[in-house]
Structure 1
Amino acid sequence: RYGVTGLLVILAVGAFLLRGYLDPIEVEVAVAQRLDPGAPAPVLTAGGYIIPHRKVELAPKITGRVEWVGVEKGDRVERGQVVLRIEQREFLVAVDRAEAALLGARARLKELEAGSRPEEIERARAALEEARSNVANAVLELDRFQRLYAEGAVSRQLLDGAKNRYEVALAQRMAAEQSYELTRIGPRQEQIDLARAQVREAEAALRATQVDLDNTLIKVPVAGTILERLVEPGEIVTTSFIGGRGAKSAVLSLANLMVLDVEVDVSQNEFRKVRLNQPATIVPDAFPDRTYRGYLAELAPEANRQKATLQVKVRILDPDDTIRPEMNAKVTFLEPPRATPGGPPKVLVPKEAIVTRDGQRLVYLANGSKAAGRPVKIGAEVDGKVEVLEGLQGGETVVVRGVEALRDGQRLRIKR
């Protein structure tokens, strides 16, 4: 009975150990860096975030209701492409109204520039002759009433009425003379100038309504990728920010994902190690086996005194579709070697890759889907990286996270 029990225990332990080898362990990896003689040497490694070099938020120039959105998050767009349309009915009505006003202003100007027609002059002359005839009749009537009043045949009231009709006839003749003269001469230059100004005003009003109509179509100013779609059809958009559930002032955001930077906070104590246009290498945390070239493109004009850091931006020279904004990345700043070329190359690995087993330093290589221990001899540590003097040639994929639980032959699942 004890023999059977012992056998079962041995089988259980063996199954447990075998399961440990069969079940893959999730690990993170990095590539052993080889520095040939004369190659740039790392002087500083810092972590940061990948960001677009330029991020554009599209906003409307008018207020209105969204009628159509033609893109989704992640879509690629070209410069000048229409991506959103605002309802156009009220803007079309405004254009029609402005066109009608312009036609009226032009007709008025044309009328003034043409001057008076012969028929209008003749009608004014006839009115003047009629007014002169009325004055002559009023003179005769006034003379008659003055004689009758002198003879005591009529009252003072009737004489005053005759005088009043005479004065009215004189005023009407004067008005008819002025009207005839104005009609004969035509409109004054000031009237024509005013009409021309009104035409220009109507033309400007028409252009303004056409601009508003054009602004119902929102176009992208640069080629890129849609990062965020902020509105849906039926929502109100406006030119100014309104918080809460009010109208929205931004409709889409986009960026060119082929121009990416890594935003890094460099400690003030390490700032002396970096400079503009300094070469660098970038390794995304999600893809530790991939290295991208770059250079320091921007230094912040002021430091952050609370964090005691200075923000810098490193331009990625050869981005691809693998890396995305907001990913974590490690940046290693490089400097030309101080020593003359010659001697053996240097191999550097993250210090997390080194593990000690039975007094021996090891690194675990990710050979396909299995771990393989490799004894190494190490040298100095600089900025989180250890120089491997013996055991690696550079370019090997080494495990940097999860290494403590590894054994030779252990199955691996590499974290991406």
Structure 2
Amino acid sequence: MSATSLSHPGTIVPVNFRAPLPLLPMNLEKITSLKESTQNSNSSRSRRLPAVLLPVGLLIAFVAVFGLMFGSRLLPATEVTTASVIALRLNPDQSTNQKPGNKVESDRTTVLFQSSGWIEPDPYIINVPALINGVVDEVFTLEGQHVEKGDTLATLIDDDALLDVEHATKAIATLDAMKIAHCAQLPVLNAEMQGVQKQIEAARALHAELLDAATRLASVPSGSVSALAVRQAQLKVDAQKAVIDEATANLAGVIAKINKVNLEKISVNAEISAAQTELARKNLALERTIIRSPINGIVLHLHAEPGKKRMLTSDDPKSANIVELYDPEKLQARIDVPLSEAASLQIGQAVSITTDLLPDTRFAGEVTRIMGEADLQRNTLQAKVRLHEPDTRLRPEMLVRAAFHPSGGSGNTAAQKGGTAQRLTLFVPANSLFERSQESARVWSADRGRARLRTLILGPEKREGYIQVIEGLKPGDQVVLPPFDGLKENQRIKSSPSR
């Protein structure tokens, strides 16, 4: 169907109109079929809904199973401190009551075992610090140099210290002058006091004379002396009494001045004493700018050089050190003994020391200390061996080889022969035990990151904080040290070896 529309005068524009769609006839069957198709589409959507929930359900189930199996590993582990079970070989007749320092007979012809170590000062390094903060001015020694006791090792810049001493000295001189000025008043005041005392004495004498005269006039019969004369005599007595009172007051004032000067003298003396103490402190600081050697020894490490600052109050433990010294006549060897051989260690045991520096020299020594804790990583027990006559050419940190000799006694004879007389014995730290009775105790052990409760049967042997275990542990086990009150069986733990 077409029509025309007038947009401008004289112009005809054609316009198209779309014909309406024809209406389809609707009956009851068509309406019913349309309703059934709608219900079928809704039912298909409801059937597709479980298919969406299936992956979600599987994911939830997987998370639940994972949580049950590995949930404890996701929680933070409890940090604990552990110590190793030590295994020692003991001789049946070896005494457990031997005390350190007891002399034992030695056999240096037989070697029980050998182990390596290194030289170190006995018993420790001597640190020589600067006792005041300052800057190094001069250094008079080098590493490896031998120094005598009292030798100057280094000096600090002392300009400030010198000025402090000068200032403190002048302060004392000022106080001394003040004291002299105060004390110079004392002779004048003492003379003034004596003059006032004499005035009082003279006034009192005149007062007594006037009082006597007035008393005489007053006692004369009436009419012999005029009343005016009697009155004048009494007035003179009163006036002289006033003079005495005035002089007495002047005397009190002079005494107060003398007491004031004496108190000021005491105060100045106290200030002088404090100034003298301060001067002594400044002199000490000046003296401490010179660092001297406290022993005869050798410089191990030099920490100072000109212009370097030395701080006594710093957090760095070596910030004030000038040098580290050691006595070459007092050396020891630090030997790491394998735990498999540690059973043969004994205080006072003879040891022979050799080093590559002097391969033809064998140094005699003896075990002075056995450390109370084993090395977890190296599986060793450390022993300190004192050298009886060390060579001056030996230096700390030199590697050495130590041969341990048996001590006298039948028990060591069995050890030399390697017979079955020796027995392997386990020891645990005494502080790791709890619920302890005479023959049993309980202990927490660390087993693959888990806490395990063990019941132990204890033996009679005790050594330096360790107790013998007969049953319940094996060599190499780790036991938990206190605190362990909150531990539970199979609890996840994080072990750190004790230091």
Task: Using structure 1 for the length normalisation, give the TM-score.
Answer: 0.54
Looking at structure 1, the residues matched to 298 and 399 of structure 2 have their Cα atoms a distance apart, in angstroms, of: 20
SS at 1:91's partner residue?
Answer: helix
Looking at structure 2, the residues matched to 230 and 325 of structure 1 have their Cα atoms a distance apart, in angstroms, of: 17
Equivalence for 1:65: 135
What aligned pairs does 1:309-320 form with structure 2 within 5 A after superposition?
A: 309-320=380-391
Equivalence for 1:333: 404
Q: 1:248 and 1:39, CA in 2 relative to 1: closer, same or farther beyond 3 A?
A: closer
Question: Would the aligned equivalents of 2:352 and 2:365 in 1 still touch at CA under 8 Å?
Answer: yes
Structure 2 unaligned residues grouped into runs of 5+: 1-106, 196-245, 411-499
Looking at structure 2, the residues matched to 229 and 39 of structure 1 have their Cα atoms a distance apart, in angstroms, of: 39
SS at 1:187's partner residue?
Answer: helix
Q: Quick one: which of 311, 316, 322 aligns to 1:251?
A: 322
Looking at structure 2, the residues matched to 255 and 47 of structure 1 have their Cα atoms a distance apart, in angstroms, of: 22
Check if 1:267 corresponds to 2:338.
yes
- Residue identity in the other structure for 1:262: A
Check if 1:51 corresponds to 2:124.
no
Looking at structure 2, the residues matched to 222 and 281 of structure 1 have their Cα atoms a distance apart, in angstroms, of: 28
Cα deviation code 1:89-147 (max 9, x no counterpart): 1111100111111122233334445543428987xx9xxxxxxxxxxxxxxxxxxxxxx
Looking at structure 2, the residues matched to 236 and 179 of structure 1 have their Cα atoms a distance apart, in angstroms, of: 63
- Residue identity in the other structure for 2:286: L
Question: Would the aligned equivalents of 1:115 and 1:186 in 2 still touch at CA under 8 Å?
Answer: no
Q: Supply the RMSD in Å over aligned alpha carbons.
A: 3.3
Equivalence for 2:146: 76
- Residue identity in the other structure for 2:121: P
Equivalence for 2:169: 99
Looking at structure 1, the residues matched to 364 and 108 of structure 2 have their Cα atoms a distance apart, in angstroms, of: 14
Equivalence for 1:42: 111
Q: 1:324 and 1:39, CA in 2 relative to 1: closer, same or farther beyond 3 A?
A: closer
Equivalence for 1:215: 288
Check if 1:241 corresponds to 2:298.
no
Check if 1:292 corresponds to 2:363.
yes
Looking at structure 2, the residues matched to 251 and 282 of structure 1 have their Cα atoms a distance apart, in angstroms, of: 32
SS at 1:57's partner residue?
Answer: strand
Percent identical residues: 24
Q: 1:229 and 1:184, CA in 2 relative to 1: closer, same or farther beyond 3 A?
A: closer
Count how many residue pairs are aligned between Structure 1 and Structure 2.
Answer: 251
SS at 1:62's partner residue?
Answer: coil
What aligned pairs does 1:356-395 form with structure 2 within 5 A after superposition?
A: none
Looking at structure 2, the residues matched to 67 and 177 of structure 1 have their Cα atoms a distance apart, in angstroms, of: 65
Question: Would the aligned equivalents of 2:189 and 2:258 in 1 still touch at CA under 8 Å?
Answer: no
- Residue identity in the other structure for 1:214: E
Question: Would the aligned equivalents of 1:115 and 1:187 in 2 still touch at CA under 8 Å?
Answer: no
Looking at structure 1, the residues matched to 262 and 276 of structure 2 have their Cα atoms a distance apart, in angstroms, of: 21
User: What is the deviation of 1:319?
Assistant: 1.7
SS at 1:323's partner residue?
Answer: coil
Q: Could you say which structure has the larger radius of gyration?
A: 2
User: What is the deviation of 1:189?
Assistant: 4.9
Structure 1 unaligned residues grouped into runs of 5+: 1-37, 126-172, 340-416
Q: Quick one: which of 254, 265, 275 aligns to 1:192?
A: 265
Cα deviation code 1:29-62 (max 9, x no counterpart): xxxxxxxxx7542212111011122312221111
Question: Would the aligned equivalents of 2:355 and 2:401 in 1 still touch at CA under 8 Å?
Answer: yes
Check if 1:88 corresponds to 2:161.
no
Please, which moves more after superposition, 100-109 or 253-262? 100-109
Q: 1:230 and 1:185, CA in 2 relative to 1: closer, same or farther beyond 3 A?
A: closer
User: What is the deviation of 1:331?
Assistant: 0.7
Looking at structure 1, the residues matched to 327 and 108 of structure 2 have their Cα atoms a distance apart, in angstroms, of: 32
User: What is the deviation of 1:282?
Assistant: 0.5
Question: Would the aligned equivalents of 1:62 and 1:239 in 2 still touch at CA under 8 Å?
Answer: yes
Looking at structure 2, the residues matched to 268 and 178 of structure 1 have their Cα atoms a distance apart, in angstroms, of: 95
Identify the structure with bigger relative contact order (alpha carbons < 8 Å, sequence gap 6+). 1
- Residue identity in the other structure for 1:105: L
Question: Would the aligned equivalents of 2:108 and 2:405 in 1 still touch at CA under 8 Å?
Answer: no
User: What is the deviation of 1:201?
Assistant: 0.5
Q: 1:229 and 1:222, CA in 2 relative to 1: closer, same or farther beyond 3 A?
A: same
